[in-house]
Amino acid sequence: MPEHTVTSRLQLSGLCFLLQTLTIILFAVFVRYSPESSAELCLQQLNCSRRKLDLGFQHPRFRDGHLQALLGFGLLVAFLGRYGPGSVATSILTMAFAVQWAILIQGFLHFFLNGKIQVGAQSMVSADFCTAAILISAGAVLGRVNPVQMLLLTLLGVTLFSLNEYILLSLMGVSDSGGSLTVHAFGAYFGLMVSRILHQSQMDKRKEQQDVGPLSDVFAVVGTIYLWIFWPGFSSATTAHDNAEPWAVLNTYFSLAASTLAAFVLSPVLYEESTPRMVQIQDAALASTAVMGMPGEMLVTPFGALVAGFLAGLISLLGFRFLTPVLRSRLKIQDTCGVHNVHGLPGILGTLLGTLLAALATADAYSGRLELVFPLVAQGSRTATDQALCQLCALPVTLLLAALGGGLGGAVLKLKGLRSPPDTRYPESKVLREVAEEGPDCGVSRKEPGTSTVV
């Protein structure tokens, strides 16, 4: 076995040991379970529960957070089977470390009380949101980074995500309970910037393979179904408002339903197919949930959700057809999982919609809920217009932070000694690669040139 692989193996093993020891020590020093006062604590920080958290109530949706963060993305990532088990394992490693790291960083920013981080169900939910963003970023570069690089990226990504979240939610008083901006847009553009920096010309030379196998289709079916089932709970996991929450849930469902029809409307026109591929339906569903992140709890009528979902569905398909090729050829940005179409653009659309709704927010339209959705407006310390302005300003802030962070991250990963490609020498990955010949693959399944693998 070649030398550099051995070193890279030990590199990984050592880094994991180092990081885990570090977190254990930091946890030992700083982290304590919060007495149930955590709810009171967090409400000044995050736009979370306004009342003492009933944990029996909290736990299920806290679990939804996990479901989505792990399952939905886990399946998304599983599509990349063609890059060998390494990439799936890598993303699980990413989750495992991101959760721990997020607890620490977010803890210092949000839950720090007299020298200790107060950990509770609420802080775990926030950590899940952060993990989701990191996994979105990973979706843009997976298959082109090795585990060691991914861990370093996680270190940086989690820190920047928490910083951005802190600026938006706590300083600017933006309300973005479902994370259109903080999770989807940030994650997508952070990952895309890293992908841009990591770009290596010879990659585009690789010939692509077109056929999609039954397995990928099965994955897409299961993935779509899970989105339908669990995302609504996820996108409303931080809104523990007594009656705001169900609206966010229902809005997300309606948006999902509309996005599916959008896929059926566009796919036959864009591609010579009578019915869309399952992956296209899944992308539409993902996009429709990303767009519902911010406006989810603001929409007071179901038809708004239908319209937004329908648009998001159209955007994701149009993006894959026309934008992704441009990104790759002109901007030299490879987007393995098309996160730009599925998370980036819809996230921005969601933010704009949220801004609009904030501007239109009136006491009588929201009645009791205004105090829950836009507390500052309800308290009169801010007009609806100011709120809308804040929501809008949050967009450039996030994009800037994501771009700078991504640039920095990419630069770090290009350092010598880290550049070894993901190892692909052991039996499974060989077996997998054979399957991959007609195997699952998000990037390629949409007939785009040049998605390539290090294999």
For residue 17, state whether it binds its own copies (rule: CB under 8 A): yes
For residue 308, state whether it binds its own copies (rule: CB under 8 A): no
Q: Which of 2, 24, 365, 449 binds its own copies (CB under 8 A)?
A: 24
Binding mask 43-62 for its own copies (x = CB under 8 A): -----------xxxxxxxx-
Query: Interface with its own copies by CB under 8 A: which range of 159-167, 226-234, 350-358, 404-412?
Result: 226-234
- d(C-alpha 435, C-alpha 443), whole Å: 16
Interface positions, 400-419, toward its own copies (CB under 8 A): none
Question: Is 180 within 8 Å of 251 (Cβ atoms)?
Answer: no
- d(C-alpha 416, C-alpha 69), whole Å: 32
Interface positions, 151-180, toward its own copies (CB under 8 A): none
Binding mask 319-358 for its own copies (x = CB under 8 A): ----------------------------------------
For residue 108, state whether it binds its own copies (rule: CB under 8 A): no
Interface positions, 135-154, toward its own copies (CB under 8 A): 146-147
- Which residues neighbour 125 within 8 Å (Cβ) at sequence distance 6 or greater? 48, 61, 62, 65, 237, 238
Q: Which of 46, 47, 63, 335 binds its own copies (CB under 8 A)?
A: 63
- Cα separation values, 290 from 14, 318, 340, 373, Å: 37, 16, 11, 18
For residue 438, state whether it binds its own copies (rule: CB under 8 A): yes
Query: Interface with its own copies by CB under 8 A: which range of 87-95, 160-168, 344-352, 393-401?
Result: 87-95
Query: String of b and e for 55-73 (b: at least 16 CB within 10 Å)?
Result: eeebeebbbbbbbbbbbbb
For residue 311, state whether it binds its own copies (rule: CB under 8 A): no
Query: Interface with its own copies by CB under 8 A: which range of 83-91, 133-141, 166-174, 184-192?
Result: 83-91
For residue 83, state whether it binds its own copies (rule: CB under 8 A): no
Q: Which of 49, 90, 180, 239 binds its own copies (CB under 8 A)?
A: 90
For residue 422, state whether it binds its own copies (rule: CB under 8 A): yes
- Residue closer to its own copies (CB basis): 218 or 331: 218
Binding mask 237-266 for its own copies (x = CB under 8 A): -----xx-xxx-xx--xx-xxx-xxx-xxx
| Entry field: residues in the chain | 455
Please provide the DSSP assignment of 17-45 as one string: HHHHHHHHHHHHHHEEEPPTTHHHHHHHH
Report, in Å, the least distance between residue 165 CB and its own copies. 20
End-to-end CA distance of the chain: 16
Question: Per residue, what are the HEC states of 60-108?
Answer: HHHHHHHHHHHHHHHHHHHHHHHHCHHHHHHHHHHHHHHHHHHHHHHHH
Q: In what order do the strands lie in the sheet with 116-119?
A: 31-33, 116-119, 112-113
Amino acid type, 376? L
